[in-house]
Amino acid sequence: MNQVETNIETFGYIKKEESLVTVKNNIIPHTLVLESLQPFPGYHGDLPDKSQPRSLFLITSKDYSFEEIARKTQKICDSIKYNFNASQGYLHFKSETLSCIRIKYLRSFTFIPELQNFYKDADIKFAKQRQINDSAIIIINKNFYVTEKEEGIYKDMNEESKCYFELPENLSWEQFKKYTETIKYNIDNNNFDAAQGAFYREKGIKDIVRIYDQEKNPERIKNLQKAYLEEIRKNQ
């Protein structure tokens, strides 16, 4: 008997590594904004128009909670005419950790200073601008809206190229990175991007892998899950 698909709205996080650079134009002067030039570094294919920001990070001068950012963002969304998504997070560089507001779906770089001013009016303090061109481990705390296609496998309802599958344990970042590299080396089609994460569910935390792949092949997602499970088994 086929499992009934279930729509789920939940909270969790995504953990990934990306190269970040300082945005120099279309910002409030002397504030620090970073951009990810490759938001899905493991995937090589067509991505959205380069004239549109992909992932932006408004760096704050202090740490704000997920709830603080969510409440302020909700009020800002009621006041502006364009869409965007904002999530609270952290950027872990080798020498420092920065607090941030991750911005997605902004149609134009020209909207950045207006958006910054809305947050500034809501008492968000921004860090001072400086030159950064480095990779960071990024942790984004966010809401998820997914459909559980079958037990332990989920499809993102907002971004059709994203799927998720559960793992039985929480891997260290180095373990996850090593397993991903091994899997990519040993499969024919290794054109996908993988990130770590977790969903907070009624029965506890579910450790997940987020896969970005424009093929959107359900069988491929199941095979990738099997590959990660096999790597976990081999290394126990």
**Cα 154–Cα 13–Cα 156 angle in degrees, nearest 5:** 25
Count of alpha carbons within 13 angstroms of residue 89, beta-carbon side: 28
Mean pLDDT, rounded, for 123-135: 97
Phi (first) and psi of residue 88, to 5 degrees: -85, 145
Which residues are within 8 A (CB) of 214 and not within 5 positions of it... i.e. 6 or more apart? 43, 45, 46, 161
Q: What is the model's pLDDT at position 3?
A: 65
Confidence of residue 97 (pLDDT cuts 50, 70, 90): very high
Rounded-to-integer distance, Cα 76 and Cα 141, Å: 19
Domain positions in the chain: 11-138, 145-234
Rounded to whole angstroms, the Cα distance separating 26 from 115 reads 11
Exposed / middle / buried, residue 154 (Cβ in 10 Å: 0-12, 13-18, 19+): buried
pTM across the whole model? 0.91
Q: What is the CA radius of gyration of the chain?
A: 18
Give the pLDDT mean for 177-198.
92
Tens-digit pLDDT profile for residues 212-230: 988 777 888 999 999 999 9
pLDDT of residue 1: 47
